Amino acid sequence: MSELLLIAGSLREMSEAELKAVLRPLGNSAAALGDMFDLARAMVGRRELERRIRLMDKDSIAVLKAGGTNQKLQQSFLASEAGAFESAVELAKELQPIRLKPVKHDLVGSELANYETQLAITEILFACERHWLEAVKAGLRAAEAKDLAAVLKMDLAQLQLRFQLAKRAGLVDVIDNRYVSTIAGLQWLDANPAQRWLVLAQSIWDLPPLTVGAGSLETQLSEQYPLFDQNDLELLRYGHILGLLSDLEPTPLFRAASLDIANAGQLVWDQFPKPVTRIIIQGDLSIISPGPLSPETHKQIDLLAQSEDLGLACRFRLSLNSVLHAMEMGMSASEIEEILLSLSGSDLPQPVSYLLSQAKKKFGELTVRAIAGQSVVESSDAILLTQILNENGLAALMFKDDGARLISRLNPSLVYFNLRDAGYPVIQLDEAGKVITPRLSQVFVQPEVVDVFALQAKALLSAEAKAPSPDDHLRQLQFALKNKLKVGVRVDMPEGIVELEMTPLGIAGGRFRGRDVVKEAERTLPLSRIQAVWLS
Amino acid sequence: MSAGPLIVQSDRTVLLETDHPQSKDARHELAIFAELERAPEHIHTYRITRLGLWNARAAGHDAEFIIDSLKRWSKYPVPEGVEREIRSTIDRYGKLVIDRDETGLRLSGATSSILIEVASNKKISELLDERLENGYRIKDWARGQLKQELLKLGWPAEDNAGFTPGTPFEISLDESLWQLRDYQREAVNKFEAGGSGVVVLPCGAGKTLVGAATMAEVKTNTLILVTNTVSARQWRDELLARTTLEENDIAEYSGSTKDIGPVTIATYQILTTKRKGEFAHLELLNARDWGLIIYDEVHLLPAPIFKMTADLQARRRLGLTATLVREDGRESDVFSLIGPKRFDAPWKDIEAQGYIAPASCYEVRVSLPDEVRMDYAIADQDARFRIAATADAKMPIIRALLKKHRGEPTLIIGQYLDQIEEVSQGLGIPKLTGETPVDEREKLFAQFRRGELTALVVSKVANFSIDLPEASVAIQISGAFGSRQEEAQRLGRLLRPKANGRSASFYTLVAQDTVEQDFAQNRQRFLAEQGYSYEILDSDEI
């Protein structure tokens, strides 16, 4: 252990650039990098040791606790080095099982779970195209989530869960602090229900090798992996919305997926409610499907109408903005008319024809484009520009009147989406005056090229503090207190981040009290401000 | 599960495909526990509410019946969440009972834990007196309020305390020249079976007759609350014409007359009139032993009457309305205080039976001249609606429409008094507003009915309860923002079947590309949900 610590200490003292330089010669050799990172993980110490122990099955833990070894323990470096092995044995004896945290939402799966999940993700992907969905830590911003949840008849937690699933499956990404649908997301929209399910299921299938029997998966995992932290399992988190679990119990789909995940999707497709072949277009501009929509039809309608109510039956509404959106995507008014005629199989109500003629007239009446780093809003109708200038709801865009046009220093896309949400028939143009379609602008914007070594170095430097939960901190502090051990703590103080070496004295009322070893003074620290804890 | 006409959704809405061959049977069962929300041409939307489920339970239907019914008629699996919700909701019914012993009202419970739970609620504890063996004594006046609070808490009480029969009074329908229609009879029967509640029928479909027929069934002293004096007199005339009641039996209690009789018609306004901070005419409610109280246009029930209604829970209450939408969102208060919806008929169904006139609706987009557009563009948000609504550019369109419908009885309906004045003066048509004395109003309406006047410019006073059977054209020049209820009621003025069978025309003038266009879309929602479709016209097409 002492040699490891020596290497770890040296690595720790390196800057990001130096660490990058050390890693680069290792090239892209998975094995070399793997060794290096195994070493790095080992240097993190107790937390990594704990993680590895918790991944062990019942038998291996028993062997470890008895001070023995087996192949699995050796593969996990838990029995490969004398010092580490002793620590692992000690730790295995101390570690307690971690209970699955209760979740606020309903975990009961249903026959329609996959239909509802795919419908929700479809809608999320289209919302990315139609609106400026700002990326926030929780997922979707509350206001936007509320609107989407209302359309999908879901509570907010269920919607956010499906959003996180879409993100996890790589269907949604963040560009310019805004959620956009990725190329994978657009491909997913084109896929059939079985293929769609497979993409989602594969992204969350993270079970350790398990013999699945009857009863709750949680219980089975606890029995076979007694120390395993199930809170980290994505399958438990998302299983019920993919029809794999119901109340944490495996469903027939789960069993099929356990045997052959690639073909289990067929079962999903078979369970899917059969789509309707006819939609109804009404005079109030609403489009009704008296049953589920096929993915192709849903895609067509979502392109030209705003969804209002989605479920087994769906309601959309045509509006000037929704039709203009379709026109921005390259469709002409007559093409839109043709689609509506073919979907409904009957004549269009007069208000729909009127709307299409209005959209034809208004398309291009108001434009926004970037000129010299600014957003320029133009229209041949000067009164319209005056109206926009006086719109209270658009004051945040800080328009300046520049004669025949309005100027804003904000991002053209932001200006475009705000004008659109305020009900103005705006389109976005590129420098050459061509219409920028909302979808293409998402697809072709690629994230900046990532330096894999820089990322690895960064990850290595921050590994110690990576994703520790407040519960982990508390547990470590309690452990240190009980065993009279000194701890290192990283604390977010008003003067900045500081690291202290402390002798724990007590934990109460959300505060940690200890003696600062360096200053030889007693300090009380709010637990909420503690970012990392390590045994020193 | 079958290939049935229903789709049950996770938010507890149920869609009914009206073209489906089994839709009639499914609708019949659905109406027992779900409420009709929208009834456009092809797909009707019902909602399964807690109140609806409890009413079904009160009528003897259990959770199994409801779930079986949904599964039998549903095209797709019934969401499990809905099934669970139905079971747990139904399970809560009847755990608390309100009944009466020789001392008074009491609240008893199946288990003491529920009693303790409800009694620990602050609002409920104020309505209860001493603890009894397995319940509580209820304060004499608190029955209605207690039921309301228990509902909010999710523990609906089974009310076995019964209704005060009221002083008996002989009333019968005089059907020598007419007959109660089937749907009116059904509405009366449903009300009778339930005891209290609301009947929803389209404008012009004969709600007054449902009231009269209910009076003839209950045969008791009756208090009828209406929106205004003109409506009070219409009720009186209708009761005299359709029942065995005579002049002396019917009294009017309004601003101008304060009589009380076995059948008394009072206005909401008089009941809410305050003198020295007190409601001055509350004694009316106890002036007689009323066995039935009818609330006409119950969606307009003013807030103070809500409170009074809570005190009147021992008496049968019948609410009548065409548009149970309240822009203040207090629809549920109507249900909890008057009673649940007992009967509802889609407008287009009644139209198909020929009992209301077919109507064509038009939204006319009026282009504004540049100077008005500029005024609009620089105005603040609050002023924009009024600029759009009162634009002079609407005047030539009104003229053109009057010309187009020359000779047809036409109402021009507006919101703003100065606009009404201008239109009245500009076109030489009499106007009728809130400032017009009641006698003058009655005179103008009578002239209009006789055909001596073919057009009237009216304000919102004509929105409700005004019976102008021959009016067949309405031109709505401005309105109260996005009020769905107002839009429907204004169309309702035209829906009495016409003597010559002609259909009605309803025009709404809307300033193009203004906020008025957005409000118009919202206004039209209720009617669209009833299956009415608006044709959109540019002003130059008139």
Number of neighbours of residue B360 by Cβ within 10 angstroms: 13
**Cα distance between residue A186 and residue B494, in whole Å:** 51
| Whether A291 and B518 lie within 8 Å, measured CB to CB | no
**Residue ranges of E strands in B18-67:** 34-38, 43-48
Instruction: Return the pLDDT at A404.
Output: 87
Question: A202-240: per-residue pLDDT in tens?
Answer: 999 999 888 888 888 989 999 999 999 888 899 999 999
Burial pattern A10-39, b for ≥16 Cβ within 10 A else e, equals: ebeeeeeeebbeebeebeeeeeebeebbee
- Average pLDDT over chain B, rounded to an integer: 90
- Residue B79 has its nearest CB partner, among A112, A350, A355, at A112
Question: B312-346: per-residue pLDDT in tens?
Answer: 778 899 999 988 777 676 666 777 678 888 888 88
CB of A111 less than 8 A from some CB of B: yes
The pLDDT > 90 percentage for chain A reads 45
- Residue A390 has its nearest CB partner, among B15, B17, B377, at B377
Taking contacts as CB-CB distances below 8 angstroms, the residues of chain B near A312 are 7-9, 76
| Whether A286 and B528 lie within 8 Å, measured CB to CB | yes
**DSSP string for B158-201:** EE-S-----SB----B--SS----HHHHHHHHHHHHHSSEEEE-
Phi/psi for B163 (5° steps) reads -110, 150
For A116, nearest residue in chain B (alpha carbons)? B10
User: Closest approach of chain B CAs to the CA of A266, in angstroms?
Assistant: 19
Confidence grade of residue A366 (pLDDT, cut at 50, 70, 90): very high
Quickly count helices (H) and strands (E) in chain A.
24, 18
User: Closest approach of chain B CAs to the CA of A391, in angstroms?
Assistant: 8
CB of A70 less than 8 A from some CB of B: no
- Residue B535 has its nearest CB partner, among A282, A350, A423, at A350
**Whole-Å CA distances, B274 to B281, B293, B297:** 8, 22, 22
Taking contacts as CB-CB distances below 8 angstroms, the residues of chain A near B41 are 282
- Average pLDDT over chain A, rounded to an integer: 84
| Whether B533 and A110 lie within 8 Å, measured CB to CB | no
- Residue A351 has its nearest CB partner, among B7, B42, B536, at B536
Mutate to test the interface with A, among B12, B364, B521, B536 (most CBs of A within 10 A): B536
The pLDDT > 70 percentage for chain A reads 84
Give percent helix, percent strand, percent coil of chain A, each to the nearest 5.
50, 15, 30
Instruction: Return the pLDDT at B467.
Output: 77
Interface of B with A in 12-51 (CB under 8 A): 13, 15, 17, 40-43
Interface of A with B in 15-54 (CB under 8 A): none
CB of A386 less than 8 A from some CB of B: yes
| Whether B377 and A286 lie within 8 Å, measured CB to CB | no
**Cα distance between residue A352 and residue B518, in whole Å:** 16
User: Closest approach of chain A CAs to the CA of B7, in angstroms?
Assistant: 7
Q: Is the overall model pTM greater than 0.80, yes or no?
A: no
For residues B526 and A72, the model is more confident at B526
- Residue B80 has its nearest CB partner, among A110, A282, A384, at A110
| Whether A283 and B43 lie within 8 Å, measured CB to CB | no
- Residue A387 has its nearest CB partner, among B41, B377, B536, at B377
Q: Of A9-13, B362-366, B517-521, which has the strongest mean pLDDT?
A: B362-366
User: Closest approach of chain A CAs to the CA of B17, in angstroms?
Assistant: 7
Taking contacts as CB-CB distances below 8 angstroms, the residues of chain B near A112 are 10, 76-77, 79
**Cα distance between residue A293 and residue A303, in whole Å:** 14
Question: B7-44: per-residue pLDDT in tens?
Answer: 999 889 999 998 899 999 999 899 889 988 888 878 89
| Whether A112 and B15 lie within 8 Å, measured CB to CB | no
CB of B383 less than 8 A from some CB of A: no
Number of neighbours of residue A104 by Cβ within 10 angstroms: 7
| Whether B535 and A351 lie within 8 Å, measured CB to CB | yes
| Whether B15 and A290 lie within 8 Å, measured CB to CB | yes
Taking contacts as CB-CB distances below 8 angstroms, the residues of chain A near B533 are 282-284, 349, 351
- Residue B9 has its nearest CB partner, among A106, A286, A312, at A312
- Write out the H or E segment, with its range, that includes residue A18: helix A16-23
Mutate to test the interface with B, among A284, A346, A390 (most CBs of B within 10 A): A284
| Whether B80 and A108 lie within 8 Å, measured CB to CB | yes
DSSP character for B3? S
User: Closest approach of chain B CAs to the CA of A445, in angstroms?
Assistant: 35
Range with lowest mean pLDDT among A13-17, A245-249, B180-184, B270-274: A13-17
The residue count for chain B: 542
* pLDDT at residue A341 greater than cutoff 60: yes
Instruction: Return the pLDDT at A465.
Output: 40
* pLDDT at residue A446 greater than cutoff 50: no
Q: Of A87-101, A348-362, B449-463, which has the strongest mean pLDDT?
A: A348-362
CB pairs under 8 A between A and B: 90
Taking contacts as CB-CB distances below 8 angstroms, the residues of chain B near A291 are 7, 75-76
| Whether B9 and A153 lie within 8 Å, measured CB to CB | yes
- Indicate the SS3 state at residue B409: coil
Average pLDDT over residues A34-38: 62
Confidence grade of residue B279 (pLDDT, cut at 50, 70, 90): confident
Q: Which residue has the tokens 């929704």?
A: A322
CB of A224 less than 8 A from some CB of B: no
- Residue B533 has its nearest CB partner, among A154, A284, A355, at A284
Instruction: Return the pLDDT at A280.
Output: 92
Burial pattern A77-90, b for ≥16 Cβ within 10 A else e, equals: bbbeeeebbebbbe
Average pLDDT over residues A190-198: 94
Strand B292-295 to strand B222-226: parallel, antiparallel, or no bridges (unpaired)?
parallel
User: Closest approach of chain B CAs to the CA of A355, in angstroms?
Assistant: 9
Taking contacts as CB-CB distances below 8 angstroms, the residues of chain B near A106 are 81
* pLDDT at residue A13 greater than cutoff 90: no
* pLDDT at residue A441 greater than cutoff 70: no
Question: A454-507: per-residue pLDDT in tens?
Answer: 555 555 555 444 445 567 778 778 878 877 778 888 888 877 778 888 889 988
Instruction: Return the pLDDT at B402.
Output: 97
| Whether B40 and A311 lie within 8 Å, measured CB to CB | no
| Whether B533 and A273 lie within 8 Å, measured CB to CB | no
* pLDDT at residue A120 greater than cutoff 90: yes
**Rg of chain A over CA atoms, in angstroms?**
29
Instruction: Return the pLDDT at A242.
Output: 96
Mutate to test the interface with B, among A105, A107, A112, A356 (most CBs of B within 10 A): A112
Average pLDDT over residues A32-39: 62
Do residues A394 and A419 touch, judged by C-beta distance below 8 A?
yes
* pLDDT at residue A444 greater than cutoff 60: no
Burial pattern A346-360, b for ≥16 Cβ within 10 A else e, equals: eebbebbebbbebbb
For residues B309 and A239, the model is more confident at A239
Strand B96-100 to strand B157-159: parallel, antiparallel, or no bridges (unpaired)?
parallel
CB of B539 less than 8 A from some CB of A: no
For B365, nearest residue in chain A (alpha carbons)? A354
| Whether B9 and A288 lie within 8 Å, measured CB to CB | no
Taking contacts as CB-CB distances below 8 angstroms, the residues of chain B near A354 are 536
Instruction: Return the pLDDT at B147.
Output: 84
**DSSP string for A196-233:** HHHHHHHHH--PPS----SS-HHHHHHHHSTT--GGG-
* pLDDT at residue B421 greater than cutoff 90: yes
Largest Cα–Cα distance in chain B? Answer: 78
- Residue A312 has its nearest CB partner, among B7, B81, B376, at B7
Helix axes A2-13, A82-94, angle to 10 degrees: 90
For A289, nearest residue in chain B (alpha carbons)? B43
Phi/psi for A78 (5° steps) reads -85, -15
Mutate to test the interface with A, among B9, B47, B362, B515 (most CBs of A within 10 A): B9
Range with lowest mean pLDDT among A293-307, A321-335, B327-341: B327-341
**Cα distance between residue B513 and residue B196, in whole Å:** 47
**Cα distance between residue A319 and residue A305, in whole Å:** 7
Tokens of B155: 């523990």
CB of A401 less than 8 A from some CB of B: no
**Cα distance between residue A330 and residue A427, in whole Å:** 12
